[in-house]
Amino acid sequence: MKARLILTACAAAALLIAGCTQPAATSGSSLDELYLTRRSIRSYDASKTISEAEVRTLLEASQQAPSWANTQPSRYYVAMTPEKAAAARQLCGERNAANVAGAPVIIVSTYVKGQSGFGRGNAVNEIGDGWGAYDNGLANAYLILKARDMGFDTLIMGMRDSAGLRALFGIPDSEEVMAVIALGYRAGEPGTPVHKSLEEIVKFF
């Protein structure tokens, strides 16, 4: 009787362990799906809005990105009112402004200079403040993947009037303006871009 109880308990434990390991596989598949469905969207559904609470959630996800010595140099300026978002869009050039006309949220991404890549005030290698840009790019990658996870879409824009954005958002000179990110809902399904083969971008040694 005792042996039967022990065998039953062992079997139950094995099933429990198997059940506990299942979400990891599901999580991996979900991440793969994000990679496959995230696109740079250039047409947004203007009828849909995004709340401040939702934007806070995806920005909190961006904070999980690694940074040099955990300096966390990235900063974000979020235009949510129609007036502020429209003003920010116009500072990204005529073509970009048209592409993201329906996006309800515009996010300006910056990084604090002299932090990432620096030790005791001096650059530790030839990259210098390039490490700040690197860390900001990592944070932005987390942001856009979280946005897709929440059902949103994004477009990262490099063509922008940095001086105009500084004036519009009060961005200090101690920060470098990097990208402007449109956030909204896609108005249609985009095509799938062709990616280079691994042979073109990788060398194994």
Domain count, the chain: 1
Query: What is the rounded average pLDDT of the residues 146-170?
Result: 97
CATH code of the domain in which 153 resides: 3.40.109.10
Residues 6+ apart with CB under 8 A from 165: 77, 88, 91, 108, 171, 177, 180
Q: Which residues pair with 107 in a beta bridge?
A: 78, 181
End-to-end CA distance of the chain: 60
pLDDT of residue 32: 87
Kindly state whether residue 70 falls inside one of the protein's structural domains: yes
Domain assignment of residue 119, given as a range: 52-184
pLDDT(105) > 50: yes
Task: Judge contact between 154 and 190, C-beta under 8 A.
Answer: no
pLDDT(25) > 60: no
pLDDT of residue 182: 98
Which amino acid, one-letter code, is at 46? A
Pairing of strands 105-112, 153-157: unpaired
Kindly state whether residue 77 falls inside one of the protein's structural domains: yes
Kindly state whether residue 190 falls inside one of the protein's structural domains: no
Kindly state whether residue 160 falls inside one of the protein's structural domains: yes
Kindly state whether residue 101 falls inside one of the protein's structural domains: yes
Kindly state whether residue 24 falls inside one of the protein's structural domains: no
Give me the phi and psi of 79, to 5 degrees please. Answer: -95, 115
* Long-range contacts (CB closer than 8 Å, 24 or more residues apart) made by 86-95: 87/168, 88/165, 88/168, 88/169, 88/180, 89/182, 91/160, 91/161, 91/164, 91/165, 91/168, 91/180, 92/157, 92/159, 92/160, 92/161, 92/180, 93/157, 93/159, 93/160, 95/159
Kindly state whether residue 74 falls inside one of the protein's structural domains: yes
Q: 112 in helix, strand or coil? A: strand
Q: What is the pLDDT of residues 51-71, one digit of tens each?
A: 999 999 999 999 999 999 999
Tell me the pTM.
0.84
Kindly state whether residue 147 falls inside one of the protein's structural domains: yes
Per-residue pLDDT band for 35 (boundaries 50, 70, 90) equals: confident
pLDDT of residue 14: 38
